[in-house]
Structure 1
Amino acid sequence: MSQHAGSPEHESLSAPGLSTLLRERGAATWAAATSHPMVAEIGAGTLPHETFRFYFEQNIQYLHCYVQGIALAIAAAPDRASQATLARFLIQITDVEIPANLTFLTRLGGSPDRLPAQLPTTRGYAGHLLAAAGSGSLPVALAALLPCQWSYGEIGQRLAAGGAPPDPVYADWIAMFADDGYDDLVRASTGLLDSCAADADQRAAEAAFDAATGYELAFWEMAYTRGASDGGA
């Protein structure tokens, strides 16, 4: 029997996944985060190095909490396939992004041994991730974790399409998120959320995703203002 455009079978096949629904409901905040002035200046290679160094000083500390959040999500994963996807996610952070962040910080004149205190946005974002990931619900954990990974993939792809900036620090940072391997990981992670959507408390997932997207925007603003948006320079 053929499936008609109005049939329930067709609708179920074409219906957007939970990841798409979550992103669409927070589209304005998502757009503000991924097109933030700091992102634009990274793409142009015009961001002051001092500002990028400030970003890495906070982001390194955030990423350590992000690792803990992914580990909690792995603990909530129901099967080996889910665990394998999340293990790839974890390795990307521990073996690629944290070492790269440490290298970028050093290239910009900073020191991993002299990191400043976490600012309120960094602490708040980390606390949100750990609370959501520790809820025991894999969909809620993923909803909190995905805005970071997913938005950086989008940023990397868009900035790379505009051509590499002349400053190698910015060109190298963009390249880290623009390659096909990163895009494949994003698809795997969003696909995992979609596959476990039937087990989701959708309101809790929406709240987790919305809060994380808001924190992404706040984190860019915090770094761009070198802490002024958090109440101190």
Structure 2
Amino acid sequence: MPAPFTRSFDDYRTSVSEARFTDWLALRAEPFWSEATGHVFTHAIGDGTMPDEAYARYLIEDYTFITDLASTLGFLVAKAPDMPAKSRLSAFLALLTSEENDYFLRSFEALGVAQKTYMRAAQGPVTRSFADLLLKSSGDGTYPEGLTCLLCAEWCYLTWGKREAQKPKPAQFYLAEWIDLHAVAGFEDFVNWIRLELDRIGPSLTGEMQERLAGLFRQMSVLERDFFETAWTGQPPAHPGAA
């Protein structure tokens, strides 16, 4: 395995033309960033080979997380420095609480998951750790900290979503629509906006804060990987988020 990428952002941009702060964040998160975006679970969505029980586990956990993601966006709307940023974040919040919620309900019905099951489900340890990190970074942390964690979560889905969208659509509507939701132009525009926002903010931060953001992105990448692995195997790791 290659040695971990540990260079500072200042060092990185001296050797890379048009260096982007967000590319540096992803490099600093390896190998966990690639393990999350390339997890076998994500490939099985696009291949149509996803076991129903694994996808049901995944959707139940993701459904328990929606409220926390909405709260994360609410914190970021409040902390955003200007109206254009607030508008971008609030528009995504509106989408999250409408279209995606309808998708979950239809998918649960198709998979035979009873309403009482997903309505009463408690978050598993990985989901809890994932939600806690997002909520803490956006609620107690700064705007760049919250935005970094949000970027990791959404950029991960855009990355595998666009890859799987190149394949023939799976027969199961809940797999096909989940890919579409994360490969559509509107979602890509939102993720690209987060990247541009951090590319603008990141270079002017102190070295200490840049390292803080790199650590958050790395930890989020580990948790994304753990989330997919837990859904795939049904076995959560003993220590969620441990690198």
TM-score by length of 1: 0.87
2:185 equivalent among 180, 183, 199: 180
Q: How far does residue 211 in structure 1 lie from its aligned partner after superposition?
A: 1.1
Taking the TM superposition and a 5 Å limit, the aligned residue runs for 1:1-233 are 14-115=17-118, 116-197=121-202, 198-199=204-205, 201-226=209-234, 228-230=235-237
* TM-aligned CA distance change 1:29 to 1:50, over 3 Å: same
What secondary structure sits across from 1:114 in the alignment?
helix
- Structure-1 separation of matches of 2:210 and 2:101: 31
- Structure-2 separation of matches of 1:195 and 1:84: 18
Counterpart in the other structure of 1:8: none
- Aligned-residue RMSD, C-alpha: 2.2
- Structure-1 separation of matches of 2:109 and 2:205: 44
One-letter identity of the residue aligned with 1:62 = F
* TM-aligned CA distance change 1:193 to 1:112, over 3 Å: farther
* TM-aligned CA distance change 1:158 to 1:173, over 3 Å: same
Query: 1:172-204, CA deviations, whole angstroms, 9 ceiling, x for partnerless residues?
Result: 221111111111111112112222222462122
Query: 1:79-107, CA deviations, whole angstroms, 9 ceiling, x for partnerless residues?
Result: 11221121123223222223322322222
- Structure-1 separation of matches of 2:148 and 2:114: 33
TM-score by length of 2: 0.84
- Structure-1 separation of matches of 2:106 and 2:57: 14
- Structure-2 separation of matches of 1:107 and 1:123: 26
One-letter identity of the residue aligned with 1:97 = E
* Number of residue pairs aligned between Structure 1 and Structure 2: 221
Query: 1:31-54, CA deviations, whole angstroms, 9 ceiling, x for partnerless residues?
Result: 111111111111111111111111
Gaps of 5+ in 2: 1-13, 239-243
Q: How far does residue 138 in structure 1 lie from its aligned partner after superposition?
A: 0.9
Is residue 149–residue 216 contact of structure 2 (8 Å, CA) maintained in 1?
yes
- Structure-2 separation of matches of 1:66 and 1:57: 15
* TM-aligned CA distance change 1:196 to 1:96, over 3 Å: farther
- Would you identify which runs of 4 or more consecutive aligned residues in structure 1 move more than 4 Å? none
Is residue 133–residue 140 contact of structure 1 (8 Å, CA) maintained in 2?
yes
Identity %: 28
Counterpart in the other structure of 1:5: none
Is residue 72–residue 138 contact of structure 2 (8 Å, CA) maintained in 1?
yes
One-letter identity of the residue aligned with 1:129 = L
